[in-house]
Amino acid sequence: MPDDDIDRARRRFLQTTGAGATLILAGCSAFDSDSDETPTDTQEETNPSESETDDPPESPSGQVEQLDAYPRVKIASVSELSTGDVIEFEYPLQEQSNFLTRLGEQAWDGVGPDGDIVAFNAMCTHAGCSVSGSVEPEDSRAGPCPCHYTSFDLSKGGLVNMGQATSDLPQIDLEVDGGDIYATYVEGLVWGYHNNLRTGTPIEAAQSN
Amino acid sequence: MSHDNDVPIPPTSAERHSTACRYCIVGCGYEVFKWPVGEEGGPSADQNAFGIDFPAQALGGNGITTEMHTVIEENGEEYNVIVKPDDDNPVNNQWSSGDHSVRGGSIAQTLYSPENDTEDRLKYPQIRIGGTLQPVDWETAIEAVAKANELAMDRNGPNGVGQKLYFYQFVENTYAGTKLHFDVIGSPNWGGHNRPALTPENPGMRNAGLWQFAYDYEDTQKADNVVMVGAEFYENKSIIFQEHIQLGVQDGATPVHIDPRQTFTSNYSQNNDGMHLQLEVGTDAVLLSSVARHILEQGWENTEFIEEWTMRERSTIDDEGWYQKEFGQTFEEYQEAILDEPRYKPENAAEITGIPAEDIRSFAELIGKPDENGERPNTVFLWEKGLIWGFSHENSAALGNLVLLTGSVGRPGAGLSRGGGHQEGFWVGGPAGEAIGEHSTQTFTTSDGEEVTIAPDTDERVRNGEILHWHVIGCDPVRGSYNTQQLRNAVRERTSGPQPQSADAEEIARAWAERMDQGGMVLTNQEIYPRTTTEFADIVLPATTWGEESDYHRWNGERRLRQYSGFMEGPGEAKPDWEIFSMIGQEMGATDMDWGSADEIFEEIASEADHGVHALKAIHDKAQEEGKTTAEKVSEMDTTGIQLPARLEDGELVGTDRVHQPDEKVPGSGRFFTSTGDAIFMQVDWNRVEDVYEELKPDPSNDEIWVTNGRVNRLWQNLYSHTRDPQIIKRFKQNFIELNPADADRIGVEAGDLVEIRNDDVYNMYGENTEGSFTAIAYVTEDPPQGQIVPEGTAFTYWLYPGQVANDIAPAYLDPANPNPSYKLAAGEVVRLGESELKEEMSFQARNIAPE
């Protein structure tokens, strides 16, 4: 498309997603107890508007690292996660942004005493925009995505309820151990990657795991 | 399909093929990458065929999902195939890059592959012998088809043969198929995949000189108002909505959605300072004519346009043809009729349509009122199913009249178009008008008492016995027609007579002749998968499809012609449709159907297509000048293609962004498609349909509600590919019916219950009313954040679900002047059968949540 159209689209995109920057981070205190595993607020990095910068992205080939397997990483504690909280975390690579939430209703593969704690990768499986700013735990929903409006049912494995995504939102396998919630696996391909464990830098917790 | 967590990256050596989506009218550009399994590209831009660094950037159009990849097998070798949206064409690259719908994004899963659920593709010709379909060789099968034609014609002349053919599966195939039917056989009994006669889908516009795909997608970006009637644009014209309409709305255009349901597009319109006019099912013509009346009363009509570009003389209209003589009006006649009809007063129209009078006036003001400088608003009018498949003439005429009244046509930001369903690839290869004019057994009596011959309703001729051999190609009429329960009963009965007991040609002829003499019928089904119609077939002919073997051509909703490359082999002994038609034609003595390739047929078409909205002779001429074939020339244009009509300007090949422009550039035509080039207002007389409407309306004393039907985002047509893609079909493993909680409470059902929708009095204009029923899962959402998708008294269901067929209760009402069915105007009683096994598995979240 012509350059002026790109600019126009970008401006609109920023307008559209501006609200996404004010992410719900209730439950942040859960991380204070364990600085090694502090999830990073990666909104700046993962906001897809970053992809529209004028400078072409640097080739990642020089800095590619990879994992051989999915690490087991502590995300939060059950006791400090209230219904409706949404917590962002990266896993297993940096910039692979995910969210953990407590729905208040039992969910497929949910953990915790009520089976209502779930986590998903935040990249919409349609075109890679972040849905972390449009998570509605009370409706068990992520979306509509700010870009093309796909919405996902978080109580049913991230099923595409409506919209253009062809695949479910990748669910993060969770385990609860001693009251702590651990991420152990990603069910499905993270958008934009050819392999969830490649072409990126493992999160610090994974490297030290 | 790939593993869940990885996909291969195509190496720089991968073959790239240009194509467009296999599904909807939007026609996004796609590219196919194919390379041997075992080779793989790398994540750096210089290591892969995309030329990008992985991970791919959001909105950049180069992400590979698991649904975009598969592995196919050819000659014992395995190849990776990726089918992805192309990031360099004007269709799907406006707001973002390489945008795709849920349908287009999963095309790879539809390819014939040991990895996909495609094993049941039809691979060998078959004939039903002794009650069982058995594989036979092609020669035997083709001889049998020709024999069935001969037997039918011996008994009933050309009318004994009926053909039911898709409108869209590429010009080469439709040309060859209609040449066989209209030229070699000469039969009038032809139906399209979606309607039983060769009729215009929007008769009130087509006969007014308006083209149904007249605009350029980008007009919605430049418009002041985008009016969308029916269709649910976000779900079904997804990329036009996301890449074009959305840009217009963000630039200040006012979106208006006219639909009985409160869908995503309705909520999007309301959330963006627009309107949702939630009318009662079937009352479009009253609403639109009431809007016209307010415009006329206020004097907002575009007098300058009307005077210059519409037919002003009664005698000129009468000379245009019987349809125009019957329904056409001068502006003065139109004005008088609208102002004299009390139903069209906004207050009265509000009673019929359910739209408050003030909203009717507001909408009229939005599209009609000039600003203080006398400038008129630019409005793009888009419509689709809902307006179509209601009252065919009245609905399309009422909207066409609004276009003319406001002069909203042929300039940037103004225009008209169907939203469209499938892409368009229909090219008539034989003398259709002659066959219909000479042999049709259907007539219409005009108000002057004149009997005019019209295109026949062939589905009725399957029921009444006129058709003795029905050749059904690439569609499923026993699900896709109207009143399908009754049609299936008729087809079952008529194909159940004597059957051949061996594949011997004489035995086949004996059995079928005997069957025909008993009032029976022989059915040939030319298909890619077995479908419901195949259950009744005597002959099955396996066809290849999108991406297989031949290069094909068709166009999208802005008439953008592209080449659809063949990049893989078809399954088993399947053959391209054009080749099957060619073999049948030659078996019947045709000497001009011996094409060697699809390219040859395209050349034949292009060499003669020198006028009209799809003129493409200029491409042929330019190709000749450059020593190329027409197919090679189109191939050079990659996914961008060229918007028809094409013409040469100063020796250069140029396309046409929108038709109906005052400096008309359509070769051989005036501004509008009439003999004078002027457009015609069309009568909208509610009296013509009111009695039928009253009969079709739900009868509350029988607990009936409207059960209207249509498309949804994730499912395509009769699900020939989507039942075979687990990721897609898992959202709706059975048909569903959206119910308002008030209706659900009254009926005593909740989300996830299996219900049956029954109607023991399905309207039938040809005879006694009949019975129909189908089952579906109740879809009920309590307290959705942006309102209920269906109002109380109206339910909505998917239209073509296998085995749960909404058309089983669709009325047999077809416009007497232009036999298009009113599929949408169905009603029934909803009865709980029990709890569905999908109750816990299925999501019942709101499907209409738009950004706020």
User: How many A×B Cβ pairs under 8 Å?
Assistant: 181
Mean pLDDT (chain B) is 97
Cα B575 from Cα B580, distance rounded (Å): 7
Candidates A95, A164, A185: best to mutate against B (most CBs of B within 10 A) is: A164
Query: Averaged over B324-344, what is the pLDDT?
Result: 98
Residue B700 confidence (pLDDT) above 60 = yes
Q: For the ranges A9-18, B167-176, B378-387, B736-745, which has the lowest average pLDDT?
A: A9-18
Residue B291 confidence (pLDDT) above 60 = yes
Phi, psi of B730 (to 5 degrees): -65, -20
Residue A4 confidence (pLDDT) above 70 = no
Closest CA to B796 of B839, B849, B732: B732
In chain B, residues under CATH classification 3.40.228.10 are 214-419
Q: Which two tokens stand for residue B27?
A: 């026609």
Q: Which residues on A lie below 8 Å from B90 (Cβ)?
A: 1
pLDDT of residue A207: 67
Partner B contacted by A198 (CB < 8 A): yes
Q: Do A144 and B849 touch (CB under 8 A)?
A: yes
Q: Which residue of B has its CA nearest to A201?
A: B55
Residue A22 confidence (pLDDT) above 50 = no
pLDDT band at B667 (very low <50, low <70, confident <90, very high): confident
Residue B388 confidence (pLDDT) above 50 = yes
pLDDT of residue B577: 98
Nearest by CB: B60 against A51, A163, A196: A51
The string of DSSP codes covering chain A is --HHHHHHHHHHHHHHHGGGGS---TTTHHHHT-GGGPPP--HHHH-GGGGG-SSPPPPGGGG-B--SS---EEEEEGGG--TT-EEEEE-SBTT-EEEEEE-SS--TT-BTTTT-EEEEE-B-TTT--B-GGGEEGGGTEE---TTT--EEEGGGTTEEEESS-SSPPPEEEEEEETTEEEEEEEESPPTT-SBTTSSBPBPHHHHT-
Cα B850 from Cα A105, distance rounded (Å): 24
Residue B621 confidence (pLDDT) above 80 = yes
Cα B715 from Cα B800, distance rounded (Å): 10
Cα B556 from Cα B28, distance rounded (Å): 8
Q: For the ranges A51-65, A143-157, B168-182, which has the lowest average pLDDT?
A: A51-65
Residue spans of beta strands (DSSP E) within B325-474: 328-329, 379-383, 415-418, 443-445, 451-453, 469-473
Nearest by CB: B63 against A8, A16, A127: A127
Q: Which residues on A lie below 8 Å from B238 (Cβ)?
A: 148, 164
Residue A69 confidence (pLDDT) above 90 = yes
Q: How many CB atoms lie within 10 A of CB A41?
A: 17
For residue A92, cis peptide bond before it (omega within 30 degrees of 0): yes
Q: Which two tokens stand for residue B821?
A: 């069915």
Q: Which residue of B has its CA nearest to A4?
A: B94
Query: Averaged over B533-550, what is the pLDDT?
Result: 98
pLDDT of residue B317: 98
Cα B196 from Cα A64, distance rounded (Å): 60
pLDDT of residue A209: 52
Rg from Cα positions in chain B: 26
Cα end-to-end distance, chain A, whole Å = 45
Q: Do A48 and B841 touch (CB under 8 A)?
A: no
Q: Which two tokens stand for residue B155?
A: 């008994």
Chain position carrying tokens 């990666």: A42
Q: Do A189 and B66 touch (CB under 8 A)?
A: yes
Phi, psi of B79 (to 5 degrees): -130, 135
Using CA atoms of A104, A110, A114, A117 in order, give the dihedral in degrees to the nearest 10: -50
Partner B contacted by A209 (CB < 8 A): no
Q: Which residues on B lie below 8 Å from A140 (Cβ)?
A: 845
Q: Do A194 and B60 touch (CB under 8 A)?
A: no
In angstroms, what separates the C-alpha of B825 from chain A's closest C-alpha? Answer: 26
pLDDT of residue B420: 82
Q: Which residues on B lie below 8 Å from A147 (Cβ)?
A: 58-59, 96
- Residue ranges of domains in chain A, CATH in brackets: 3-207 (2.102.10.10)
Q: What is the second-level CATH architecture of the domain B15-110? A: Sandwich (2.60)
ipTM of the complex: 0.96
Q: Which residue of A has its CA nearest to B40?
A: A194
Phi, psi of B279 (to 5 degrees): -85, 160
Residue A98 confidence (pLDDT) above 60 = yes
Q: What is the second-level CATH architecture of the domain B126-200+432-587? A: 3-Layer(aba) Sandwich (3.40)
In chain B, residues under CATH classification 2.40.40.20 are 687-835
Q: What is the pLDDT of residues B25-43, one digit of tens each?
A: 999 999 999 999 999 999 9
Q: What is the second-level CATH architecture of the domain B214-419? A: 3-Layer(aba) Sandwich (3.40)
pLDDT band at B5 (very low <50, low <70, confident <90, very high): confident
Query: Averaged over B318-346, what is the pLDDT?
Result: 98
pLDDT band at A24 (very low <50, low <70, confident <90, very high): very low
Cα B710 from Cα B328, distance rounded (Å): 31
Q: Do A9 and B96 touch (CB under 8 A)?
A: yes
In angstroms, what separates the C-alpha of B67 from chain A's closest C-alpha? Answer: 7
Q: Do B63 and A167 touch (CB under 8 A)?
A: no
Query: Averaged over B569-598, what is the pLDDT?
Result: 98
Cα A75 from Cα A102, distance rounded (Å): 13
CA B25 to chain centre: 8
Q: Do B66 and A64 touch (CB under 8 A)?
A: no
Q: Do B843 and A156 touch (CB under 8 A)?
A: yes
Nearest by CB: B65 against A52, A125, A147: A125
Q: What is the pLDDT of residues B786-830, one digit of tens each?
A: 999 999 999 999 999 999 999 999 999 999 999 999 999 999 999
In chain B, residues under CATH classification 3.40.50.740 are 126-200+432-587
Q: Which residue of A has its CA nearest to B729?
A: A166
B649: part of which helix (H) or strand (E)?
Answer: strand B647-649
Candidates A50, A67, A121, A126: best to mutate against B (most CBs of B within 10 A) is: A126
Q: Do B58 and A129 touch (CB under 8 A)?
A: yes
| CATH code linked to domain B687-835 | 2.40.40.20
Please enumerate in sequence order all residues whose Cβ is within 8 A of that of B187, keeping only pairs 6 or more positions apart, or say none: B158, B159, B160, B161, B162, B163, B181, B435, B439
pLDDT of residue A208: 59
Q: Which residue of A has its CA nearest to B61?
A: A127
CA B150 to chain centre: 32
Partner B contacted by A153 (CB < 8 A): yes
Q: Do B59 and A61 touch (CB under 8 A)?
A: no
Q: Which two tokens stand for residue A206?
A: 């994974």
Strand partners, B36: B79
| Cβ within 8 Å of B, A 93-112 | 95
In angstroms, what separates the C-alpha of B13 from chain A's closest C-alpha? Answer: 18
Q: For the ranges B542-546, B630-634, B721-725, which has the lowest average pLDDT?
A: B721-725
Residue B4 confidence (pLDDT) above 70 = yes
Q: Which residue of A has its CA nearest to B109?
A: A166
Cα B578 from Cα B597, distance rounded (Å): 9
Residue A29 confidence (pLDDT) above 60 = no
